[in-house]
Amino acid sequence: FRIGLSDLHRLRRPIRAEEEAPHRSWKPGEGHIGIAFQMRREIVAGDTSEPEARALFDAPEPNRHEDDRERYRSIASLPIRLAGEEPLGILVATSDVPDRFHLRDRDEETARDPVEPLRILANALALVIKTTDLYKQPAGRPDHDPANS
């Protein structure tokens, strides 16, 4: 597959039967995925049913599904990018269990950070994408060389 910057697509589903179903598409700035992409930062919510998190995680139409609030109780959206570069995409991890993903408090006694493995994966994905032919600069970008398309 090729990665472009106009839309963000979900590429893996938790249930094998759903993998062939249509995927949702997010524009930069739209929903938690598009916001993480546009702001170039991770967005993590331990419980998306909390009012302050709900605004970010309620999907706009037509991406809203009836069972979203039950299926996606804890969400982590992390930019796939190399340091100082624009995001190539967003790595999204979801759970129907509240607090599966949360930002670790500095005062938290445990050293386990449930988001750190996702950060490592997002960085590794960025490196693989940038060093292989999976990434194609879109036309119109200053660093785009049409001769290499």
What pLDDT shows up at residue 80? 94
Strand-pair category, 89-95 with 74-80? antiparallel
> What pTM was estimated for this model as a whole?
0.72
pLDDT at residue number 9: 47
Q: How far apart are the first and last CA of the chain?
A: 14
Query: What pLDDT is attached to residue 127?
Result: 92
* Phi, psi angles (nearest 5°) of residue 121: -65, -45
Q: Which residues of the chain have pLDDT under 50?
A: 1-10, 139-142, 144-149
The pLDDT value given to residue 4: 46
pLDDT for the residue numbered 33: 87
Query: Is 34 within 8 Å of 26 (Cβ atoms)?
Result: yes
Provide the sign of the torsion angle of the four alpha carbons 134, 139, 141, 142, taken in this order.
Answer: positive
What pLDDT score does 8 carry? 47
